[in-house]
Amino acid sequence: MRDITVVGVGYVGLVTGTCFADLGNRVCCLDVDEAKIETLNEGGMPIYEPGLEEMVRRNVSAGRLTFTTDYAEALAEAEFAFIAVGTPEGVDGEADLKYVQAAAESVAKTMVQPLVIVNKSTVPVGTGDWVADIVSANQPQPVEFAVVSNPEFLREGSAILDFMNPDRIVLGSLNREAAGRVAQLYLSLRAPIVITDLRTAEMIKYASNAFLATRISFINEIANICERLGADVKEVAAGMGYDKRIGRYFLDAGIGYGGSCFPKDVKALAHMASIHGTHPQLLKAVMDINQYQRRQTVLKLREVLGSKLRGKVIGLLGLAFKPNTDDIRDAPGTEIARLLLQEGARVKAYDPVAMPNAAKILPDMELAEDPYDLAVGCDALVVCTDWNEFKHLDMTRVKKSMRQAFMVDGRNLYDLDELNRLGFIYRGVGRGY
């Protein structure tokens, strides 16, 4: 049993802390947001992640997991301090490190015994060295410490599974002993452990996310070509995926990627490349294609409903950037909603868990009780998130409720022939009508 402090109780921090507790460690999760900590101490959850609430309650009851806003309390017995705070997008696409800086300064001022400081947040290459300098400069008296980079590879909606069954553990440090100590925390997971220097570990995270985003934009560009040439991108992707050199993952054409990682990380990597004298042409193309996919949805609506969308009623199936999360950060659905509202359309939406978050940023959007309520009076429905419950809707009932039976399937969720048979005008992504 080790004593671990996790700074930040967002998606990464709360999942990381809870999973470490579930592995038998004593974990104190800290956040300066008093409302979040109060919610957790009262048994509530500040985020939605399948299975997390039950795991939090189990470990709190077992005395392995606690929450606080007090750095001194959190670090009193700590051997490890994981920094898992947000790194939002800056003005020029760079990662804003103000929360990392604040966390490093606070850790430095309150640590009382030797500590391994672990960067879990996604941070630009060179941040580990910078954090070490911050800690050294802010210690009231010298206390031994080491900095380790341990980038996260958690997917929202399956974060617990990803933590407990990782493809690999990446650790970077100038202090091999410290990296080895962090590796010990993960040994029971029986995953490959990659130990390298700080900057290489930080780069592995950005390169991984940029490559996955590139695959998504690549298949979306192929989808757009398929639409012009009469091919079906779903069959194209399936045929490509059988090639072991390519594989099937991240070859689902749609309305683009979103969330808190891919958009931000690709921009940050492009920014790093630009300011250090390289020309990130591919990364820029990846971002351009992603934005184009969202605008394509509006163009498809105009194609059938007319160039003027003012007064048209458009229903959005899904708002979260992906299923099994309430995260709407950079979600395609919310951007499409904004574009339609700007054109004067009446926008309705339904999402199983993300509507409270969406209501805060899109107050003019109407929220429906369920997918069938959403369909009533609509001129078109747009699938923005591929929630499982959307796959099994009674489409005959949906059609009867709509003013016009027009479907823009932004996730290729439905069978083209079946919807055409039911009388829908159907537009998927790359389906070769």
Catalytic-labelled residue, pool 28, 29, 261, 378: 261
The residue to which tokens 């941070």 are assigned: 123
- Report the run of H or E that residue 171 belongs to, with start and end: strand 169-172
- Spatial contact of 56 and 18, defined as CB atoms under 8 Å apart: yes
Q: Which of 76, 89, 109, 103 is nearest to 330 (CA)?
A: 89
- Return d(Cα 390, Cα 383) in angstroms, integer: 9
Other Cβ atoms within 10 Å of 137 Cβ, number:
10
Chain centre distance of CA 171: 21
- Report the run of H or E that residue 406 belongs to, with start and end: strand 406-409
Contacts of 393 (CB under 8 A, 6+ apart): 371, 372
Give the sign of the dihedral formed by CA 301, CA 306, CA 308, CA 310: negative
Counting runs of H as helices and runs of E as strands, what totals does the chain give?
Answer: 18, 14
| Residue 239, phi then psi, degrees to nearest 5 | -65, -40
Q: Which of 213, 148, 137, 203 is nearest to 181 (CA)?
A: 148
Record the tokens describing residue 29, joined without a space.
């999760």
Alpha-helical (H) ranges within 111-256 are 127-138, 159-164, 176-186, 198-229, 233-241
Record the tokens describing residue 106, joined without a space.
């606070």
- Return d(Cα 15, Cα 369) in angstroms, integer: 30
**Is 261 part of the annotated catalytic residue set?**
yes
- Bridge partner residues of 285 (DSSP): none
Tell me which residues are annotated as active site.
Answer: 261
